[in-house]
Amino acid sequence: MIGIYFSGTGNTKYCIEEFAHAYDDKIELFPLDTSVDVEKIRLHRDIIFAYPIYYSNLPKIVSDFIKQHPFLWKDKHIFIIATMGLFSGDGAGVGARLLRKHGAHITGGLHLKMPDCICDINLLKRSYEQNRKIIYEARRKIRSAATDFKKQTPPKEGLNILYYIAGLLGQRLWSWTKTLDYYDRVSIDTSACTGCGSCIYACPMKNLYLSKGKAKASTHCTLCYRCANQCPRKAITILGRRVVSQYRIHDLI
Protein backbone atom coordinates (compact mmCIF):
# COMPACT_ATOMS: atom_id res chain seq x y z
CA MET A 1 0.00 0.00 0.00
CA ILE A 2 1.07 3.60 -0.68
CA GLY A 3 -0.47 6.98 0.02
CA ILE A 4 -0.77 9.99 -2.25
CA TYR A 5 -2.10 13.35 -1.21
CA PHE A 6 -2.48 17.01 -1.91
CA SER A 7 -2.30 19.35 1.06
CA GLY A 8 -2.67 23.10 0.86
CA THR A 9 -1.57 24.33 4.27
CA GLY A 10 -0.78 21.03 5.99
CA ASN A 11 -4.13 19.71 7.25
CA THR A 12 -4.39 16.84 4.77
CA LYS A 13 -0.70 15.97 5.10
CA TYR A 14 -1.14 15.71 8.85
CA CYS A 15 -4.22 13.50 8.51
CA ILE A 16 -2.76 11.00 6.04
CA GLU A 17 0.44 10.78 8.10
CA GLU A 18 -1.60 10.05 11.23
CA PHE A 19 -3.60 7.40 9.39
CA ALA A 20 -0.48 5.76 8.00
CA HIS A 21 1.15 5.79 11.44
CA ALA A 22 -1.92 4.15 12.99
CA TYR A 23 -2.32 1.58 10.22
CA ASP A 24 1.19 0.71 9.03
CA ASP A 25 4.36 2.76 9.51
CA LYS A 26 5.85 1.24 6.36
CA ILE A 27 3.38 3.00 4.04
CA GLU A 28 5.17 5.46 1.75
CA LEU A 29 3.44 8.80 1.28
CA PHE A 30 3.84 11.09 -1.74
CA PRO A 31 2.56 14.65 -2.25
CA LEU A 32 1.09 14.69 -5.74
CA ASP A 33 2.27 18.24 -6.46
CA THR A 34 5.98 17.54 -5.99
CA SER A 35 7.18 13.97 -5.71
CA VAL A 36 4.64 11.40 -6.83
CA ASP A 37 6.32 8.39 -8.40
CA VAL A 38 3.71 7.33 -10.95
CA GLU A 39 5.46 4.00 -11.46
CA LYS A 40 5.07 3.21 -7.76
CA ILE A 41 1.36 3.91 -7.99
CA ARG A 42 1.21 1.58 -10.98
CA LEU A 43 2.88 -1.20 -8.99
CA HIS A 44 0.60 -0.98 -5.93
CA ARG A 45 -2.98 -2.20 -5.87
CA ASP A 46 -3.96 -0.55 -2.57
CA ILE A 47 -3.83 3.23 -2.30
CA ILE A 48 -4.78 5.86 0.27
CA PHE A 49 -5.74 9.05 -1.57
CA ALA A 50 -6.12 12.20 0.55
CA TYR A 51 -7.13 15.72 -0.42
CA PRO A 52 -8.90 18.82 0.96
CA ILE A 53 -12.37 19.86 -0.18
CA TYR A 54 -13.06 23.31 -1.66
CA TYR A 55 -16.69 24.37 -2.14
CA SER A 56 -17.77 20.71 -1.73
CA ASN A 57 -15.57 19.78 -4.69
CA LEU A 58 -12.08 18.62 -5.59
CA PRO A 59 -9.26 21.13 -5.83
CA LYS A 60 -8.50 21.66 -9.51
CA ILE A 61 -4.96 20.33 -9.06
CA VAL A 62 -6.36 17.02 -7.75
CA SER A 63 -8.97 16.51 -10.47
CA ASP A 64 -6.35 17.34 -13.11
CA PHE A 65 -3.90 14.83 -11.63
CA ILE A 66 -6.51 12.05 -11.80
CA LYS A 67 -7.51 12.95 -15.37
CA GLN A 68 -3.92 13.27 -16.57
CA HIS A 69 -3.24 9.65 -15.60
CA PRO A 70 -6.43 7.91 -16.79
CA PHE A 71 -4.93 4.42 -17.07
CA LEU A 72 -3.27 4.55 -13.65
CA TRP A 73 -6.42 3.86 -11.64
CA LYS A 74 -7.78 0.72 -13.29
CA ASP A 75 -8.39 -2.05 -10.72
CA LYS A 76 -6.81 -0.02 -7.90
CA HIS A 77 -8.38 -0.33 -4.45
CA ILE A 78 -8.56 3.22 -3.13
CA PHE A 79 -9.42 4.49 0.33
CA ILE A 80 -10.20 8.22 0.30
CA ILE A 81 -9.50 10.72 3.07
CA ALA A 82 -11.18 14.11 2.62
CA THR A 83 -10.43 17.06 4.89
CA MET A 84 -12.73 20.05 5.26
CA GLY A 85 -13.37 23.14 7.34
CA LEU A 86 -16.93 22.22 8.29
CA PHE A 87 -19.04 19.75 6.30
CA SER A 88 -18.55 19.02 2.61
CA GLY A 89 -21.38 16.55 2.00
CA ASP A 90 -19.77 14.06 -0.35
CA GLY A 91 -16.12 15.05 -0.03
CA ALA A 92 -14.90 11.49 -0.54
CA GLY A 93 -17.59 10.94 -3.15
CA VAL A 94 -16.40 13.61 -5.58
CA GLY A 95 -13.03 11.90 -5.84
CA ALA A 96 -14.59 8.44 -5.83
CA ARG A 97 -16.86 9.17 -8.80
CA LEU A 98 -13.96 10.46 -10.89
CA LEU A 99 -11.69 7.55 -9.95
CA ARG A 100 -14.41 5.00 -10.70
CA LYS A 101 -14.71 6.42 -14.22
CA HIS A 102 -11.14 5.25 -14.71
CA GLY A 103 -11.74 1.77 -13.32
CA ALA A 104 -10.88 2.16 -9.62
CA HIS A 105 -12.59 0.32 -6.78
CA ILE A 106 -13.35 2.57 -3.80
CA THR A 107 -12.87 0.71 -0.53
CA GLY A 108 -14.09 3.47 1.78
CA GLY A 109 -14.12 7.13 2.69
CA LEU A 110 -13.18 9.17 5.74
CA HIS A 111 -14.27 12.76 6.37
CA LEU A 112 -12.17 14.85 8.75
CA LYS A 113 -13.07 18.29 10.02
CA MET A 114 -9.93 20.39 10.42
CA PRO A 115 -9.19 24.02 11.32
CA ASP A 116 -10.05 26.61 8.68
CA CYS A 117 -7.10 27.84 6.60
CA ILE A 118 -8.83 30.49 4.46
CA CYS A 119 -6.91 33.30 6.06
CA ASP A 120 -8.65 36.26 4.39
CA ILE A 121 -12.25 35.41 5.34
CA ASN A 122 -13.53 35.58 8.91
CA LEU A 123 -16.38 33.04 8.55
CA LEU A 124 -14.95 29.91 10.19
CA LYS A 125 -12.30 31.42 12.43
CA ARG A 126 -11.99 29.74 15.83
CA SER A 127 -9.87 30.22 18.93
CA TYR A 128 -6.58 28.44 19.50
CA GLU A 129 -8.24 26.12 22.04
CA GLN A 130 -11.11 25.31 19.67
CA ASN A 131 -8.70 24.47 16.86
CA ARG A 132 -6.66 22.25 19.17
CA LYS A 133 -9.83 20.38 20.08
CA ILE A 134 -10.73 19.96 16.39
CA ILE A 135 -7.34 18.40 15.70
CA TYR A 136 -7.65 16.14 18.75
CA GLU A 137 -11.06 14.89 17.54
CA ALA A 138 -9.71 14.35 14.03
CA ARG A 139 -6.80 12.33 15.39
CA ARG A 140 -9.18 10.20 17.48
CA LYS A 141 -11.37 9.58 14.43
CA ILE A 142 -8.34 8.69 12.29
CA ARG A 143 -7.17 6.08 14.77
CA SER A 144 -10.64 4.56 14.97
CA ALA A 145 -10.83 4.45 11.15
CA ALA A 146 -7.41 2.78 10.94
CA THR A 147 -8.57 0.12 13.40
CA ASP A 148 -11.71 -0.49 11.35
CA PHE A 149 -9.60 -0.63 8.19
CA LYS A 150 -7.49 -3.39 9.71
CA LYS A 151 -10.71 -5.29 10.43
CA GLN A 152 -11.69 -4.84 6.76
CA THR A 153 -14.67 -2.71 7.78
CA PRO A 154 -13.51 0.75 6.65
CA PRO A 155 -15.79 3.79 7.03
CA LYS A 156 -17.86 4.75 3.98
CA GLU A 157 -18.35 8.45 4.58
CA GLY A 158 -19.25 10.62 1.61
CA LEU A 159 -20.05 7.75 -0.72
CA ASN A 160 -23.82 7.27 -0.79
CA ILE A 161 -26.66 9.22 -2.38
CA LEU A 162 -27.54 11.17 0.77
CA TYR A 163 -24.00 12.53 1.00
CA TYR A 164 -24.18 13.41 -2.69
CA ILE A 165 -27.38 15.42 -2.21
CA ALA A 166 -25.90 17.19 0.81
CA GLY A 167 -22.78 18.18 -1.13
CA LEU A 168 -24.76 19.27 -4.18
CA LEU A 169 -27.30 21.39 -2.33
CA GLY A 170 -24.95 22.57 0.40
CA GLN A 171 -22.36 24.25 -1.82
CA ARG A 172 -21.49 22.66 -5.13
CA LEU A 173 -24.68 23.62 -6.99
CA TRP A 174 -24.10 27.28 -6.15
CA SER A 175 -20.32 27.36 -6.39
CA TRP A 176 -19.48 24.94 -9.21
CA THR A 177 -17.50 27.53 -11.16
CA LYS A 178 -15.17 28.16 -8.20
CA THR A 179 -13.32 24.90 -8.84
CA LEU A 180 -14.21 24.33 -12.49
CA ASP A 181 -11.08 26.17 -13.58
CA TYR A 182 -8.04 27.70 -11.95
CA TYR A 183 -8.53 30.99 -10.11
CA ASP A 184 -7.16 34.10 -11.77
CA ARG A 185 -7.64 36.92 -9.24
CA VAL A 186 -4.97 36.52 -6.60
CA SER A 187 -4.28 39.98 -5.16
CA ILE A 188 -0.86 41.16 -4.00
CA ASP A 189 -0.37 44.40 -2.11
CA THR A 190 2.81 45.68 -3.71
CA SER A 191 3.25 48.32 -1.00
CA ALA A 192 3.53 45.54 1.60
CA CYS A 193 5.40 42.96 -0.51
CA THR A 194 9.18 42.89 0.04
CA GLY A 195 9.95 40.39 -2.72
CA CYS A 196 11.17 37.74 -0.26
CA GLY A 197 9.99 34.92 -2.54
CA SER A 198 8.34 32.78 0.17
CA CYS A 199 5.09 32.67 -1.79
CA ILE A 200 6.90 31.55 -4.94
CA TYR A 201 8.50 28.58 -3.21
CA ALA A 202 5.21 27.68 -1.51
CA CYS A 203 2.96 27.66 -4.58
CA PRO A 204 2.31 24.15 -5.99
CA MET A 205 1.17 25.62 -9.31
CA LYS A 206 4.20 27.85 -9.99
CA ASN A 207 1.62 30.61 -10.23
CA LEU A 208 3.73 33.31 -8.59
CA TYR A 209 6.87 35.06 -9.78
CA LEU A 210 8.99 38.12 -9.08
CA SER A 211 8.86 41.20 -11.27
CA LYS A 212 10.89 44.29 -10.42
CA GLY A 213 11.40 42.98 -6.90
CA LYS A 214 7.71 42.36 -6.19
CA ALA A 215 5.62 39.20 -6.26
CA LYS A 216 3.17 38.86 -9.12
CA ALA A 217 0.42 36.30 -9.71
CA SER A 218 -0.58 34.57 -12.92
CA THR A 219 -3.94 32.88 -13.64
CA HIS A 220 -3.29 29.33 -12.40
CA CYS A 221 -4.26 29.36 -8.70
CA THR A 222 -5.75 26.19 -7.20
CA LEU A 223 -7.03 27.97 -4.04
CA CYS A 224 -4.74 26.08 -1.67
CA TYR A 225 -3.87 29.22 0.35
CA ARG A 226 -0.24 28.28 0.93
CA CYS A 227 1.04 31.62 -0.32
CA ALA A 228 -1.37 33.79 1.67
CA ASN A 229 -0.73 31.89 4.89
CA GLN A 230 3.05 31.97 4.50
CA CYS A 231 3.55 35.57 3.40
CA PRO A 232 5.40 37.29 6.27
CA ARG A 233 3.96 40.66 5.27
CA LYS A 234 0.34 39.46 4.87
CA ALA A 235 0.42 40.97 1.40
CA ILE A 236 -1.54 38.24 -0.42
CA THR A 237 -5.30 37.79 -0.51
CA ILE A 238 -7.31 35.38 -2.62
CA LEU A 239 -11.04 35.35 -1.88
CA GLY A 240 -11.16 38.13 0.75
CA ARG A 241 -9.75 41.63 0.93
CA ARG A 242 -7.47 41.44 3.98
CA VAL A 243 -5.64 38.76 5.94
CA VAL A 244 -7.62 38.05 9.09
CA SER A 245 -5.51 35.30 10.63
CA GLN A 246 -2.76 33.24 9.03
CA TYR A 247 -2.82 29.50 9.61
CA ARG A 248 -0.03 26.98 10.18
CA ILE A 249 -1.01 23.58 11.50
CA HIS A 250 2.35 23.13 13.23
CA ASP A 251 1.42 25.97 15.58
CA LEU A 252 -1.39 23.76 16.90
CA ILE A 253 0.20 20.31 17.22
Q: What is the 3-state secondary structure (H, E, C) of the chain?
A: CEEEECCCCCHHHHHHHHHHHHHCCCCEEEECCCCCCHHHHHHCCEEEEEEECECCECCHHHHHHHHHCCCCCCCCEEEEEEEECCCCCCHHHHHHHHHHHCCCEEEEEEEEECCCCCCCCCCCCCCHHHHHHHHHHHHHHHHHHHHHHHCCCCCECCCCHHHHHHHHHHHHHHHHHHHHCCECCCEECCCCCCCCCHHHHHCCCCCEEEECCEEEECCCECCCCHHHHHCCCCCEECCCCCCCCCCCHHHCC
Q: What is the mean pLDDT of residues 225-231?
A: 96
pLDDT value for 134: 96
Please determine, for residue 44, whether its predicted confidence score (pLDDT) is greater than 90: yes
Q: Read off the pLDDT of residues 112-152 as tens digits, 9 standing for 90 and up.
A: 999 999 999 998 899 999 999 999 999 999 999 999 999 99
Condensed to tens digits (0 to 9), the pLDDT of residues 7-17 reads 999 999 999 99
The pLDDT, as a whole number, for residue 67 is 96
pLDDT digits (tens, 9 = 90+) for 1-42: 999 999 999 999 999 999 999 999 899 999 999 877 788 889
pTM for this predicted structure? 0.94
Is the pLDDT at 212 greater than 80, yes or no?
Answer: yes
Q: What is the pLDDT of residue 176?
A: 79
